[in-house]
Amino acid sequence: MEGNGKPKLLFGAAARDLRELLMLTQQAMAQRLGITRGHIHKIEHDEARPSLDLFDRWREAFGGEFDLYMEAYVTMYWCKDTRPAPDTCRERMS
């Protein structure tokens, strides 16, 4: 949790890591998604959240790789968190 009581956002770091894994620049990623490089930057630094429409375009652009990557990324961070882990994390850790 952040100091303001809100859970820390994970999407920005996951989006940046996936982009770098695919060896894409922010500009190339932005062009694939139909948004500006500045918007990609804001998302990657958790200064903006993607709309549902943009999230869907992300999934369409990167298909199954995106879904698997996001699931693994979020699970990894939930399981490391100090809060009680969701059941899915407990099952995967067993």
Residue 46: inside a domain: yes
Supply the pTM of this predicted model.
Answer: 0.63
Q: Which helix (H) or strand (E) holds 78?
A: helix 52-80
Q: Is residue 2 part of a domain?
A: no
**Tally of domains within the chain:** 1
Indicate if the pLDDT at residue 89 is higher than 70. Answer: no
Domain assignment of residue 72, yes or no: yes
Residue 90: pLDDT band (50, 70, 90) is: very low
Cα dihedral 22, 37, 3, 68, rounded to 10, equals: -30
Full domain range(s) for residue 71: 11-93
In a domain, 71, yes or no: yes
Query: Does position 43 have pLDDT exceeding 50, yes or no?
Result: yes
DSSP one-letter string for 13-59: HHHHHHHHHTT--HHHHHHHHTS-HHHHHHHHTTSS---HHHHHHHH
* Averaged pLDDT, 56-83: 65
Tell me if 31 is assigned to some domain: yes
Looking at residue 50, which CATH number applies to its domain? 1.10.260.40
- When comparing pLDDT for 14 and 88, which is higher? 14
> Which residue is listed with tokens 């809100």?
6
